[in-house]
Amino acid sequence: MKLKDTLTRENVGGYDLLLRALLGSIAIVILAMDLVEPGPWKWVTALIAFTGLFTGMTRHCTPYVLMGFSTAEKKN
> pTM above the 0.85 mark?
no
Pair 56, 11: CB distance under 8 Å: no
Confidence at residue 1, expressed as pLDDT on a 0 to 100 scale: 63
Confidence at residue 17, expressed as pLDDT on a 0 to 100 scale: 92
Query: Does residue 8 register a pLDDT over 90?
Result: no
| Mean pLDDT of all residues in 36-57 | 94
Confidence at residue 49, expressed as pLDDT on a 0 to 100 scale: 96
Would you kindly state where each structural domain of the chain is located, as residue ranges? Answer: 12-67
Q: Which of 14, 4, 25, 2 is nearest to 69 (CA)?
A: 14
| Mean pLDDT of all residues in 71-76 | 80
